[in-house]
Each structure stands twice: as C-alpha cells, then as structure tokens.
Structure 1
Amino acid sequence: MATIDVHPERWDEVIAETEGPQIVVGGPGTGKTEFLVRRAVHLIDHGTEPATIAVLGFSRRGAAEIRSRIEARLGQTTAAVAASTYHSLAMRIIESFGHSGGEPPALLTAPEQVAFVADLLASEDPTNWSALYQPLLHTSRFAQEVTDFLLRCAEQRIGPDEVAGFQRDDWRGLSGFFAKYVASLEAAGRLDYGSLIVQAVELLEDDEIGPAVSSQFQYVLADEYQDTSRVQARFLQSLAKHHRHLTAAADPYQSVYSFRGTDLANVGRFPDEFRDSGGRPARRFVLTTSFRVPGEILRSAEALTHKLDLPGAAGPVIGVESAGRVDAHRFDQATEEAEWIAREIERTHIVEGTPYENIAVFVRTKKRFMSELSRALERRGIPHNRPDSRLVDHPAVRILFDLVTAATTSGADRNRSLRRLSLGPLLELPPGEFHRLSSEQETRGWDAVLREHSPGGTAIAKLISDQAWATTSPAAEGLWHIWDTLPQLADMANDPDRRDERFGWSSISQVLGRQFERDESVTLHQYLGWTEKDDFEADPLLRHHATQAPEVTLTSLHQAKGLEFDTVFIADAVEGVFPDLRSRESLLGSRHLSSSLPTDVVEYRRFRLQEEARLAYTAMTRASRRVVWTATSAGDDFRPGGPSRFLDRLGVQIDHPPDTALPVSVLEGEAWLRRIAADPAAGGHARSAAIENLATGPAWGG
C-alpha cells in the first residue's frame, strides 16, 4: 500500500492524480472536503461533464455545502454535479432501474416504519417467538425494537436466512418475521430507509444495470468515509466497480456513529478492498496540515484520544500557528454554570468582537442543560437557536397536542394537559381557580367542571368527551375539527400580536396535509405518539424560528460534526453524562449483528469509552480560537456530579472561572454603578462618580 504525505505545497499535484481508487485521510481542518471540491473542479476544468461526477456526503447539509463550494469555484450558480447523500443517490438508482413500469416504491418515514412493523406483529403467532418476547409482541416498545433490528440488519446486509444462521434462541421468530416483512413491503409498494442502499447494491451488481450506472457516474468522490456502514462501503464498491475512479476522504478519529451502524474498520480496509484494475491496493494520501485548528487546541484534543491507534488514521497533524486556548471551569450548580456561559458569550461578543454566529455551545444530551442555558441567554438578550425549535414544541402547536392528550388519556397525563390548557391563552384561568376546578373534577369529572365553571370551557369539554376526532379521523381532519370547535383559536389568529402563533398553526396544517397525502389513516393520536419519540427528527418537522439573523448555536456534540466556529463551549461535561457509558444493549441485542463490535461486555464498554473520547476530540476541533469546558461539582438525583474524566486529560487547570468585576453590558454597568453608589466603603469620590454617571443615563451606555 502506497502512503503519500501531502503538504500544502503539493496539493495541486496530487489533486490532478484523478485516476484509480484512493483514500485521503487527514485530521480536523486539514481540508478533506476541500480536496474533494478541488478535485471535482479540476475534472470539470479538464473536460469531464459535471453530471458524470457523483459527490457523496452524509447529510443533506453536507452535500449542499459541497455543491455550493464547487459552484463558487467554477464561478457559476448551477453546476450539474450530482452532489447528494448516499440514500438520495440510492433512491435515484432504484427509481431509474428498480421497477418495471408503474410507480416507484414510496419511502417510509421512521414512524411509519414502526407502525408498519406493529401491524405485522399484531398477526404473529406467539409460539413462533422466544418465550422472552411472547408477552411483548403487541406492544409499541417491541415494534420499535424489531424496527431497529431490521435497520441494523440492512446496515450489515443481513437477510432472513443470515438471521436464522445465527441460531440464537432469543432470535427465534425474527427470521420468519423478517421474510414476511420484506414480502409485505413489496406488496404494499413501500420501501424502508435501511433497505434503500441494500436494494441499490443489488441493482448495481446486475450485469446490465451496473455498467449503465457506472457509465453515468465516471468519477465518485465520497466524503466522511469513516462514517460508512458495511453496506455503504459495498455501495461505493459497486458504484465504481467498472472504472475504479473513486476518491474517499476520512478521519477515523471523527468516527462517532457506531449506534447507526458505522464500521470503524472501513478506513483501514479501504486500500485492500478498493483495488485498481491491475489488482494493486488503493493509494493512500495523508493531509498533514490543518488550516483551521491551532496547535494548542489540537494537542489538548489529541490527549483525549491518546493510545487509541486507530487503523487508517492520519497521525499527528500540524496545527495552525495562530494562538489557541483551552480552558476548563467547574461550578457549584448548573444555574451558575449557565449564567457564566451566557455572560462569557456576551463578553466575547462585545469585548473581543466575535460575531454571535461564530460561537457555539455543545452538550452531550439536549435534555439536561439546554433549557437552563437558553433562559440565561434570553435574560441577556443574546440571540440563539432555542432548544424547543421543533415545530411540535412550538407553544401554539402544543395547544393542539395537549387537546389530543386530554381527549385520549386519563389520570396524571390528562390533568397536566388540562392544566396547561386552562392556564394558557385558551382559558387564561388564575392558578387558584384552576386548583379549585382540579379538586372538584375528582368527584364530578373534567367534562362537567369545564362546562359549568369555566368561560370558554364548553368547547374544550366537547373535544375531550368525544375522542373520535383524535383517534379515528385523519390527522388533517382532526386539526380542522379542533379549529371549528374552538372559537378562541380564530380570535387568537386575528390578533395582530399573535404572528408567531399563526406561523405555528400554518406550519402544522401543512405538515399534516403532507402526511395525509402519504397515509390517510394516520390520526392525530398516532402522530402525537411519533413526536414523543427521541428520534423523531425532521421527517415532517419544521423549525418554528425561521430567522436568518446571526445567533449563537446550541446543539449536541453529535450534531456539531462538520461545523466550524471561532469559540466553542463544551458544557455540562459531568461524569456519568459525558462520557455516556450507559448500556446501549437493545432488547434484541442487535449489536451482535455487527462483526466489528466487541461481543464481550468489558471490551464493548472500552469501545464505547473510546468512541466518546473521539466525540470529545471532534467537538474540540470545531474551534479555531478557543475551547471552554464547563462542569458542575455538585450532584443531585438527576445530575451525578463531578467534572468528566475528560477534563483531567486536557492538560489544563480545572478551576472556578476568575471573577471579572468589570461589567460587559449596559444593564450590568448600571447595576455595578448602583452598588458603588450605595456602598459606604467605596469612598466619597467613587460614589459621587457613580451617581453622576447614573444621572447621565443613556449617554454613558451608548
């Protein structure tokens, strides 16, 4: 295997070597994606038709960025380069070659797939299954587990026969169900997300279809190869089989998606698995120099991954010579941590001139710390993407789903929903009045109480007493039933100050309308169930903050991958949260489908710890100037407490942040002056100066 170090001065020479299989490896900021962009531009400049170049990214955002960068370099607005995701290209191949006449299969969303699996499980004979799972066959939890199992099978290109070949007693029944599931999908004209690439590979391996597709895409450029599964690696092999002109870019130290089927060993195997027409291993180019990350940040990040020795890695990276900085601070409470981060962001923006859009805060999980931080940022008027930016979390949309919950549940869930509805804009009851109604309903029921004692409550009582609109009517019809029943909604919609609510209602009506076009049987109750899943992402979701204004980015460590910022905060870095070493063992043990994951419990835990270290490495190297780790020392029932073990590896002192007494904003300045003016110990001159400055008002505050 030929390995060639590529320093910046050799880029043009190596980019021109376009023929044959090759993998480009490099650390953060070394220009792996830029290398692919410049190779695409080189090919086009030398006569290659843009439409014959396939550029693959792992997300729509990544693919769109590559496309725009190619267009910018070519100096044109529309370059017909096929920049897409793996799944998008696979769907194009299936649509073009995978059906003889008729309509191509419709792609199931993740919630739709779970519902499809649940319907099939309902007709299963329990005796075909392991005794462990027989009581669970008709539960939604088991449907989710089986769906996950089927997805993991697709990632490994494992079919029903292979599942049977494992001869595991706890998987008894799965192979037969798998076969029935595949047949049912085909009969229904549906296709699941996991099967997309499997079916595309099968088509590409056809003696007629494979050469036809290869001739259409004469050059293949694949970004983020370290995130590929086994079936995605096979997809690339099949796509480039007839010309071998494949360039992949990768950094094994940024491989953090094993829970999605990523095979870390793909990078190391690449030279042997992708050979040229003469049988020689693929060439391996190593990008040596980072154009973004200072050496100080790189060395600190590399300390987190010390001794990992990943196959196919690039080795040490030469950092940018500009100054970089890594800090680590501990706090007594989460509120103190959030308030300090908000103040430090404000200081960084005002004093150092860093635009808000160049600042980010990453957390391991959005469920713990983000709301606290968002409130601290709101108090200072700092623009940021709110953690409740899913459409289903929009306050106006929550009204609709609270009505669904109140109509379809009982007990505590119904009471909580009715409390929000009563105290919210529909009824606007005082808390004391709601408490009285809540006590009375224990003997008389909510229906009677709302009708008799609450102005405007009759319409809500009507909705919660007849749940058909939520459980049997299509979701879009259920929405309009709510609208027709509640006159308060029309009043709110006509209020000129309720623009945000109108946006939320308009958006959810469009989403449910599209859902009706896909599947008329989905009800509001089913849709609500989907939204409550942690993995309910942008299948039909919209952000309800559609602003393009500069703002601080708040996101998870995994979602930070591929982003770049000047300053990065890694917050809530608490032991027990980050690293996250909780068992990810699914009920069906689907990780055992992968030959690349350790089967031994201890070894698997070590693997998980190493992946979490790579996640920390990836997050730190998003920064071009400064990284700040923060954690709390105190714990409670929900917070284990104590800074993460990763902070000990950074090579920096972990301390309470210094007390910066000088204010950084007008509000802080006013409070600071008032404290001086009221402090007898401050001295007469200082107090007089403070009073005089306060008296000038806006003049001193700008």
Structure 2
Amino acid sequence: MTGSDASDLPTVAVHDQHRAASVEALVPLDDAQSAVLRLPDARSAVVLGAPGSGKTTTLVEAVAERVHARGYGTDELLVIAASRSSAQVLRDRLEARVARATPGSLARTAISLALEVIAGSGAFAGTGRPRLLTGGEQDQTIAERLLGDEVDGTGPVWPAELGPEVRRLQGFRTELRNLMERSVEHDVAPAELRRLGSLHDRPEWIASAAFIEGFLADDWRGHLTPAAALARAARLLDEQQPGTGVLGRLRVVFVDDAQEATHGVLQLLAALARHGITIVAFGDPDLTTGAFHGARADALGRFGEVLGRPVDTLLLEQVHRGTPGIRATVRGVTDRIGTAGAGRHRQAAAPIADAAAQARPVVTVAAGSPAEQIAVIARFLRERHVLDGVPWAEMAVVARSGGLIPAIERGLSSLEVPTRASTGGAPLREHPFVRAVLLAVSVALGRTPLDAEVVTELLHSALGGLDSIGVRRLRAALRHADLAHGLDRSADRLLEEAFAVPGALIGLETPSAARARSLADSLAEARAQAAAGASAEELVYGLWSRSGLERGWVALSKGSGQAAEEANRDLDAITQLADAARTFVESEPETPASVFLDRLLEQTVGDDSLAPTGFRQAVTIATPAALVGTTFDTVVVAGMQDGVWPNLRVRDSLLGASELVELLEGTATPTADARRAVLHDELRLFAQATSRANRSLMVVAVVDDDHQASPFLTLLPEPDPHRAALSPLSLRGLVGNLRRSLTRRVRPADPAERAASASALAILAEAGVPGAPPEEWYGVADPTSTEPLHDPTVEELPVSPSRMEAFEECPLHWAIARLGGGASGFASGLGTIVHAALEHAESSDESALWAAVEDRWDELHFEASWEGEATKRRAAELVHRLSAYLHDAERAGVTSIGNESRFSLRIPIGELGGAAVLGGSIDRVEVVPATGGTRRVVIADLKTGGSAPRQDRDVADMAQLGAYQLALASGAIAGTEGMPSGGAKLIVVSAGTKRKEYYDPAQPALDDEALDRFRERVIADAIGMAGAVFEARVGTHCHDPFAFGECAIHVVPAVSS
C-alpha cells in the first residue's frame, strides 16, 4: 500500500469501526504536536522540542496515526530508540497504543536493526547471524593484546608518554576503543590512519594503526563491534535494490532521542533514506549525553544534509512536564549551550502547573560534608515519600559519573532509603555472590584447586552461609574428631579432605557442619555436571538452585530496610549472571563453559543487561546518560562540586579520536574551542539531569575545606541554609531525637519539652518502633545474671599465672577475655608455633627450630599473601634469636630439665573453705651451674610479643614469674626436688640490638616472706576473678590508647545515662 491519504484505505466496516476508535490520540495533543501527525507519508522531518515538550508522546501517537488512520502495516514502520532499555519501554508503549499483532518488535536500537540487515544478507550467503561484540568483551580483548605485546616485547612502538604503565589503565583502553570505533565509522582503514599519523605528526595514531591491524587480524567468528555493525549494514543497504531484503516493506522510521545518534547511526539512517524510506527524527541537541562516545549534537540542525534529502523542521512549542521553576532552571542552563544549529526550540512556553506545583521552588543545598550530603538527600526523598505520597520508584538521584554511584547507594541504603542503581559500569564479577558462584564454577571445572583457602572463601560466601565464628567452629569440630581417632592433622588439611571425600562430614552433628556438608555436596554435583560436559548455564543454575537461597532472599526482598536492599541486589545479580550464561550458550553453543568463566573474570567494563529484575519501589540512582528518555516526579542532582561537574578535561587527550574526526570532517578547532565544547557537553549533561524532574528538583553540592561548589550552581537559586539542619524524617531518626531531648545533660530540655518527648516515645514504643521502649536502651536493662563466676566457699578457683597481671591491671579487660570477648590474630598464633618449636627443641640448631615452625605454618591464616610473607620473615627472625639464646645457654653449661612443664598448686583460702588453684605450663625449666659446684633451678618464660619487658627492674614484681617461683618452692614442679631456686627470668626474642640478639630480664629468687606475700596476692586475685562485678580501670587502662584493651567500648556512657 503506497497511498498517502485516507481515500486509499480499504473500507471494510469492522476495520473502520476499530480505526475510528483508535485514531483519536489517547492524550490531548497541542497544535504543534498535531502538526507532526499531519506530515505527508513521504516527507522526512526533524522534530525539535525542549525537555518535557512531549516528543516521545508525539512519536507514539504518530505511529498509531499511521497504523490506524493511514492503514500502515506494523511491518511498514519502525521506531529506533537510543538504548536497549529505552527501546524496551517504547516497545511496551507502542504495543499498548497500536493494539495490533506485529511480526517483530516495533521499537529497537539502531545496532539491533543493523544486525538484522547483516543477518538477512548473510542468510542468503550462508554466513549465519552475526553477534555483537560487547563493550566488556572489547575491553577484555584489548587488555589481553596489550599485555601480550608488553610481555613478548612485540607489537606497536608507542610514544614514550604512552608507556606500559599508561597502557595498563582502563582509561587508555577506553580511548583506544573510541579511536577504533571512530575510525570504522569514517571508513578509515589502519593504513589510512597510519598515513594520517605520519602526515600530521601523530605517533600515537601510527601505533594505534598497528594495534588495530592486529586486532582485525583475529578470527572473530561473526562477532562485530557496534561501529562495524552499523557501517556494514549501511554498505549492504546501498548494495541492495530499494524494496528488497529484510527491510523491503519498511516505509517509515521514527527516531526517538536522535540527539544521541553517532556518525554510524546517522550513516545507517542515510542509507535507509536512499532506499526511499521516510525518516522522522525527534530530539533536543541540548540534551546530548554521549558526545564522548561519538554522539553528534549538531546532527539535528543539519539533518537534511545527513540524509541527503530535504526535510521539514517542526518545533514543539509548549512544555507539558515539570513546573515553571524547573522549566526556568532548565532554560537557564540550555541558554548557555551552543545552539548546534538548532536553538529555536528553547523558546517553548513553560508548563501550566497547579498552585502547589507553582509554589514548589527548585531547592539548592550546600552540604558541609559528603555524609551530610547523603543525609540531606535522604531527608528530601523521605519528605516527598512520607509527606507528599510520592512512590519511591518515582524518584531519582543523578550523579555525574558511574564511579560516584556506589557511595551514594550505600549511603542512602544505610539511611533506609530503598535504592536501585541504574548503571552498567561495574563488572558483574565484582558482586560478592556472583564472585562466589564463579569460584565454585572454576572449582567444578578443575580450574581452581579446592584447597583450604578456597574452601574457606566459599564457606564465608552466601553459598556456604558461615561467618568467621562458624568456620572456626567447623575447623575445631574437625580437629576434635581427628584427635578422637588418635590422629593429629592440621585443620587446613582436614578441611580440604572434608570437601574432597564424599560423605566426610556426615559424622559431624553441628549446624556449621550441616551447612558445610550442603556446600560440599553441591560442589560434588557441580564437578559431576562439568565432567559430563554441562554448559555454563547449567552449572550456574545448578549451584544457585542447590544453594536454597531463593526463598529466603525473595521473602527478605519484599520487606524494607537494608536487609531488603541487599536481598534485592543479590537477586538482581544472580539474575544477570544467569542471563549472561544463557546468552553465551545461545550465541556460542559449542564453546566450553571455561571460556564463559574467563570472559566474566577478566572483564573490567560491565555490559548492560536487560535481564528482568524484581520490581520494587526503589529510588533510581544513575548517570545522566542512563536517564535518557525517562522522567521522574522528584529528582536530586548530587555531587555538584567544582572539578566533578563540570569536568573540563578535554576528552580523548591521549589518542585524539575527536581530533581525528574533526580532521576528517574539516572541522578542526583550537584548544580553547575544544575546552568550550567540553563545557557545553557538561552543560548538556546538567540539562539532561535537571530536566528529568516533573514536580520537584533538588541540587546538592559538598562545600568544605576540600570541596568547592560547582560554578553551575550560579545558574540556580541561592542554597537553602536550613536544609542541612532538618531531622532525618525517619522513625529511627525520630526516636534518636526524642531520646536525646529526654536524656541530654548539656543544655537540657525544659520540663515541657522533656514531657512531650517522653509522651511521644511512649506512643512509638506502644506501636513497636525499635529503640523507643526504654527497656531496649543501652544501660537500662537489668543484668542477665548477678551470680558470681565461682563460689569461693566451696569451689576451687582456677588462677592462670600468665593472666594475673592482666586482672590486676584491669579486671574488666580480664573478664572480657576470660568470657570469650577478646580478640586474637596471627601474632598470637605465631607465638604459639614458636613456643611449640622450643618445646620440642633438642639443641640450639636453627634449622631444626625452623623446621618445627614450618611443620605447623599452615595453621596460620592470613587475609592477604603479603601478610603471610611479612609474618614468615618475622618468624625467621624470632627463630634466629631463640637459637642464639639456646646457643649461649649451651656454652654456659645450662641444661633444660623440662620444656612446657605443667604444674598445679592448691592454695587454701583461709576460712572461706575454698581454694585457689594456681596452674599452667612453664616454657623452660633450666639448671644453671653456680659457684661452688652447686646447681640452681631457674624458671624461664619465652616472650615473642613486642611489648615484653627487657630490664630486670621491669620484672621484679611480675606476677607470672612470681607464680612460677611459688610453684617451685612448693615442690609443684617435677624434677626439681632438692635443688635451690635461682629465680625466674624471661627470654625475650621479639627485639634485639646489634650487640645482643635477645633480652633475658631476671627476677631474683623469692625468700620465705616474699613467697608468703605472693600467696596472699594469688588468693586476692582468685577471689576477685570469681566475683560478679569487675572494675574498669578507666584512668589507667581503658582509655589508654597504648593499652589495646577490648574494655574501651564497654565504658562508653549509655545513651540513657
């Protein structure tokens, strides 16, 4: 059908009835919009409109008019959108509006159309359907080639300023990709790029040409970059006769957000126009966001030149979205942008708003810190949600770049504002759960050995479900079971065997073991699948389904708060991973799963995904580019600091892709003009961001010693000085404010305010709001128990010599450690291993001591490899110093009659009826020759810690050495009978000097009076250790920054105090 008016349409009655009901627009159109619908069939046009003037609405109605009023078939028209997400939204709108069966999607991207053209041509030649090489895959391939060239010493000769350190940067790879794409768009072959580089003294172009030659020489097996796909499709269309090929019936193409079109897209549109296809483009050059990626803001102003045929230019004259204040703000921004050949649309009239919208100003805030910025944004969004009833999904926060989004997302989530990040900048592998699944896939494929480190990482992940304590309990359970069978293997080895041998965990009946058993079974099943040739999709789905996480995460995601946010993000991530695996299998069914694993693990640039995500009410956080074609009730533009927005760095400064385009098109500009162009691009991004708001707009900047406000803020109203002081407008914030009002001692509230606060808290408590009931306040609840740890009248009270000093220094600190609240690290584990080496030492031979340390080295666990290496160097130093001490002792005739000698000494507690039991292990019992041929016993205790005393005066009253001397004098140490005491000493190997490699401060032998006093000291400590109350030594210990005590947090005053 080629007729251009209604008289040419068929006259079947039922069709006429349907058409009569459908021709009228679903939304009222103004005169300018109606004029677009009256465009003749064969007349191409460009429709310019300010933000909110109804461009997309007009496009949808124009499509409906052509179908229902002019009788177009749905295969005779097509809509091109700027992105896949925009195409998806448009597709739904068009299907609902047209209400006709369609042979394919009515809306798609230009690249999707190009691939269809290529596939249609290739089908006749038997070459199959091409696949788009994603941005992440391009970046990965470029990185591999650059690294290979560096390692092999081959490849292009890059200029000195583009050395290996620069070429490893993602920014360099991004510029190289950009140069490659612009070269393809303008049909510049590597040889031509090399010639231009020589002609214009651009060595970076010469090197890039050599790199591109190698890149193109690879066998891509039907893979095309976006620019290559667009260019090839345009060439194929020019080779075809009009009316033939897969687009043979196509009559008209509508282009939405045409300001985002690159040179390649424009060339494809021109090729379509040469086929006689009508092109109607809608856009606003003031909103171009993709200039860095080749988008042409000036294309709409010279659209007839682009298409090579006359076009009409129509202006939409009325803005329908937003408020007069928002419109004035956007107009103030766009008036400062170069017109790009099409500026008359800026004159569009402001919207007619209701009284409430008229009175709502554009809000500007200067926050005093990044944290305050987040608090201000959260308060503003919550105002709109709580007070004005705006759904969370109708709000957005816009940041200049994707790198700023994670911090904003985390900050808002912590303040209980539900968020959804809309950016594909981060690789999928960076999500913790995805990383765990990929690690499990690698194990299943035999790529990663299942050693203790890998098992621990998987146990810590959501697949294993154990925290550090759970893993520690599992290791302890494995050790106990091993010892019960008369074995003594390391926990690491047992953990590896438990996951290597099917059913190895069946005998352990603990919650930690049950979770570990489930993970071990899932990994075993995954290995079996991989051995049978399972695809990447099957491996990913199997691990996910066996994890049993879906039900719990889905339930959590339906709630609110941070847990719900995390659950939603986790579900989105696994959905995207499954979608990526499915896409990989569909496009490359014969490629093994290991290739999929490599691609995901090596990507440094994320790919966009249209995988369905669970719909939830959440605030969108995105860059301006990600919001093309969208609108929100409320928008916050964040991070308006100088240097962030605008970012005036000239683009393509390393490889000059933009300069190449200007050279080819004869539009080269001086540096000053290039900076002006960058400023205009930044203004376009700002206009895009502010124009997304329909009813409410806030712009926030951080202004402090390190940040200055963006000059763009001068285009906005003066900052509101009162915004930062507003309360959080959340239940948690309200409870905090009320409690502070009720309990503060500095500038206390007056009685009336305190009464009002108490009454409000009572109401909140009755409603079950957390934190409101006084019984939940820290410092108010009664102790769970007032019973003493031991009854000194009937029980034996254990006293450890090594802990007496800690108890005397701060009873609270001792109690925390005694009851399991203390912290330990690899330093204490290292000390244990060195002590064990001394226990089994038969001589001072350093190599034998080091062998004993290495035998147990795998018992230590480190967060990073560098920690392990540093600790091993320290261990070698400790062993060397210990060997030096033992060597000196041997030369002095000192012998050891016991290493790790255990003792127990019962000391009655007077009239109480109980007893203190002094017990422990002595590192070394030495027999020292003395004058006159007598021999004396000296107790030695090894110290590997850095804070050990080094002088005799520092150990004169040391409780640990005194306890050992008391045990010796009381005959509690085997093998010392009849020998006099020579005192006690420390062997300090943690530090030394050039003159001395160790220290051995000594405590003289205690006489009877000193021993009696020490008995009383032990009894006093025992009674204190058995008590119910433990004193905090705030002045001398808890607040001492060098005491390193866990008690500090327990002496913080309660909120209610």
Taking a change above 3 Å as real, the CA distance of residues 452 and 189 of structure 1, as seen in their structure-2 partners, is same
Other structure's SS at 1:54 match: strand
Aligned pair 1:204/2:271, yes or no? no
Other structure's SS at 1:330 match: strand
Distance of 1:461 and 1:110 partners within structure 2? 39
Conserved in 1, the CA contact under 8 Å of 2:53 and 2:317? yes
Q: Which entry has the higher C-alpha Rg, 1 or 2?
A: 2
CA-to-aligned-CA distance 1:460-488 (integer Å, 9 cap, x gap)? 999xxxxxx9xx9999889999999x9xx
Distance of 1:16 and 1:605 partners within structure 2? 42
Distance of 1:65 and 1:594 partners within structure 2? 33
Task: Tell me the amino acid that sits aligned with residue 188 of structure 2.
Answer: I
CA-to-aligned-CA distance 1:5-24 (integer Å, 9 cap, x gap)? x9923432441123312110
Taking a change above 3 Å as real, the CA distance of residues 605 and 460 of structure 1, as seen in their structure-2 partners, is farther
* Residue in structure 1 matching 2:131, options 86, 106, 110: 106
Aligned pair 1:657/2:723, yes or no? yes
Aligned pairs for 1:549-564 (under 5 A) are 549-564=616-631
Q: In structure 2, what is the equivalent of residue 511 of structure 1?
A: 580
Distance of 2:572 and 2:29 partners within structure 1? 51
Report the CA distance between 1:498 and its aligned residue. 6.2
Taking a change above 3 Å as real, the CA distance of residues 589 and 71 of structure 1, as seen in their structure-2 partners, is same
Conserved in 2, the CA contact under 8 Å of 1:301 and 1:650? no
User: What percentage of residue pairs aligned between the two structures are identical?
Assistant: 24
Distance of 1:598 and 1:461 partners within structure 2? 65
Report the CA distance between 1:678 and its aligned residue. 3.5
Conserved in 2, the CA contact under 8 Å of 1:330 and 1:632? yes
* Residue in structure 1 matching 2:205, options 168, 171, 177: 171
Distance of 2:145 and 2:641 partners within structure 1? 42
**TM-score under structure 1 normalisation?**
0.80
Q: In structure 2, what is the equivalent of residue 150 of structure 1?
A: 180
Distance of 2:296 and 2:118 partners within structure 1? 25
* Residue in structure 2 matching 1:357, options 386, 390, 393: 393
Conserved in 2, the CA contact under 8 Å of 1:408 and 1:525? no
Aligned pairs for 1:442-461 (under 5 A) are 452=491, 456=495
Conserved in 2, the CA contact under 8 Å of 1:384 and 1:552? yes
Report the CA distance between 1:385 and its aligned residue. 1.2
CA-to-aligned-CA distance 1:175-221 (integer Å, 9 cap, x gap)? 466456546457x3332222111011001111526755664211121
Distance of 1:474 and 1:84 partners within structure 2? 39
Aligned pairs for 1:241-252 (under 5 A) are 241-243=274-276, 245-252=278-285
Taking a change above 3 Å as real, the CA distance of residues 82 and 529 of structure 1, as seen in their structure-2 partners, is same
Conserved in 2, the CA contact under 8 Å of 1:677 and 1:691? yes
Taking a change above 3 Å as real, the CA distance of residues 571 and 127 of structure 1, as seen in their structure-2 partners, is closer
Other structure's SS at 1:50 match: coil
Q: In structure 2, what is the equivalent of residue 256 of structure 1?
A: 289
Conserved in 2, the CA contact under 8 Å of 1:679 and 1:687? no
Q: In structure 2, what is the equivalent of residue 440 of structure 1?
A: none
Aligned pair 1:604/2:674, yes or no? yes
Taking a change above 3 Å as real, the CA distance of residues 334 and 428 of structure 1, as seen in their structure-2 partners, is same
Q: In structure 1, what is the equivalent of residue 265 of structure 2?
A: 232
Conserved in 1, the CA contact under 8 Å of 2:326 and 2:362? yes
Q: In structure 2, what is the equivalent of residue 62 of structure 1?
A: 86
**TM-score under structure 2 normalisation?**
0.55
Distance of 2:768 and 2:346 partners within structure 1? 51
Aligned pairs for 1:178-193 (under 5 A) are 178=212, 181-182=215-216, 184-185=218-219, 188-193=221-226
Report the CA distance between 1:577 and its aligned residue. 1.2
Conserved in 2, the CA contact under 8 Å of 1:220 and 1:240? no
Conserved in 1, the CA contact under 8 Å of 2:418 and 2:617? yes
Other structure's SS at 1:291 match: coil
CA-to-aligned-CA distance 1:635-661 (integer Å, 9 cap, x gap)? 5xxxx5111111122243464526346
Report the CA distance between 1:366 and its aligned residue. 3.4
Q: In structure 1, what is the equivalent of residue 695 of structure 2?
A: 625
Aligned pair 1:572/2:639, yes or no? yes
Taking a change above 3 Å as real, the CA distance of residues 63 and 507 of structure 1, as seen in their structure-2 partners, is closer
Task: Tell me the amino acid that sits aligned with residue 670 of structure 1.
Answer: V
Q: In structure 2, what is the equivalent of residue 377 of structure 1?
A: 412
Q: In structure 2, what is the equivalent of residue 668 of structure 1?
A: 733
CA-to-aligned-CA distance 1:544-573 (integer Å, 9 cap, x gap)? xx3212211111222122211111111121
Which ranges in structure 2 are unaligned for 5 or more consecutive residues? 1-27, 474-488, 502-526, 555-566, 770-1057
Taking a change above 3 Å as real, the CA distance of residues 192 and 460 of structure 1, as seen in their structure-2 partners, is farther
Aligned pair 1:94/2:118, yes or no? yes
Deviates more, 1:92-101 or 1:377-386: 377-386
Distance of 1:593 and 1:388 partners within structure 2? 29
Distance of 1:156 and 1:293 partners within structure 2? 40
Q: In structure 2, what is the equivalent of residue 3 of structure 1?
A: none
* Residue in structure 2 matching 1:299, options 325, 328, 335: 328
Aligned pairs for 1:489-500 (under 5 A) are 493=548, 497=552
Aligned pair 1:26/2:60, yes or no? no
Deviates more, 1:241-250 or 1:380-389: 380-389
Which ranges in structure 1 are unaligned for 5 or more consecutive residues? 1-5, 435-449, 463-468
Report the CA distance between 1:331 and its aligned residue. 1.5
Other structure's SS at 1:51 match: coil
Say which structure, 1 or 2, has more relative contact order (CA 8 Å, 6+ apart): 1
Distance of 1:496 and 1:101 partners within structure 2? 46
Task: Tell me the amino acid that sits aligned with residue 66 of structure 2.
Answer: L
Conserved in 1, the CA contact under 8 Å of 2:702 and 2:709? yes
Distance of 1:21 and 1:163 partners within structure 2? 35
* Residue in structure 1 matching 2:436, options 399, 411, 416: 399
Aligned length: 655
Taking a change above 3 Å as real, the CA distance of residues 144 and 210 of structure 1, as seen in their structure-2 partners, is farther
Taking a change above 3 Å as real, the CA distance of residues 577 and 419 of structure 1, as seen in their structure-2 partners, is farther
Conserved in 2, the CA contact under 8 Å of 1:26 and 1:286? yes
Other structure's SS at 1:320 match: coil
Q: In structure 1, what is the equivalent of residue 298 of structure 2?
A: 265
Report the CA distance between 1:253 and its aligned residue. 0.1
Distance of 1:494 and 1:309 partners within structure 2? 54
Report the CA distance between 1:231 and its aligned residue. 2.3
Q: In structure 2, what is the equivalent of residue 438 of structure 1?
A: none
* Residue in structure 1 matching 2:648, options 566, 573, 581: 581
Report the CA distance between 1:616 and its aligned residue. 0.4
Taking a change above 3 Å as real, the CA distance of residues 482 and 320 of structure 1, as seen in their structure-2 partners, is closer
Task: Tell me the amino acid that sits aligned with residue 526 of structure 1.
Answer: D
Task: Tell me the amino acid that sits aligned with residue 350 of structure 2.
Answer: G
Report the CA distance between 1:61 and its aligned residue. 2.2
Task: Tell me the amino acid that sits aligned with residue 648 of structure 1.
Answer: T
Report the CA distance between 1:239 and its aligned residue. 0.5
Other structure's SS at 2:320 match: strand
Distance of 2:302 and 2:57 partners within structure 1? 23
Q: In structure 1, what is the equivalent of residue 467 of structure 2?
A: 428
Conserved in 1, the CA contact under 8 Å of 2:421 and 2:621? yes
Task: Tell me the amino acid that sits aligned with residue 159 of structure 2.
Answer: L
Conserved in 2, the CA contact under 8 Å of 1:203 and 1:209? no
Conserved in 1, the CA contact under 8 Å of 2:540 and 2:581? no
Aligned pair 1:526/2:556, yes or no? no
Report the CA distance between 1:234 and its aligned residue. 1.7
Distance of 2:371 and 2:758 partners within structure 1? 32
Report the CA distance between 1:129 and its aligned residue. 3.5
Task: Tell me the amino acid that sits aligned with residue 348 of structure 2.
Answer: V
Distance of 1:687 and 1:363 partners within structure 2? 41
Conserved in 1, the CA contact under 8 Å of 2:36 and 2:58? no
Distance of 1:193 and 1:107 partners within structure 2? 7
Taking a change above 3 Å as real, the CA distance of residues 227 and 690 of structure 1, as seen in their structure-2 partners, is closer
Conserved in 2, the CA contact under 8 Å of 1:290 and 1:317? yes
Taking a change above 3 Å as real, the CA distance of residues 474 and 270 of structure 1, as seen in their structure-2 partners, is farther
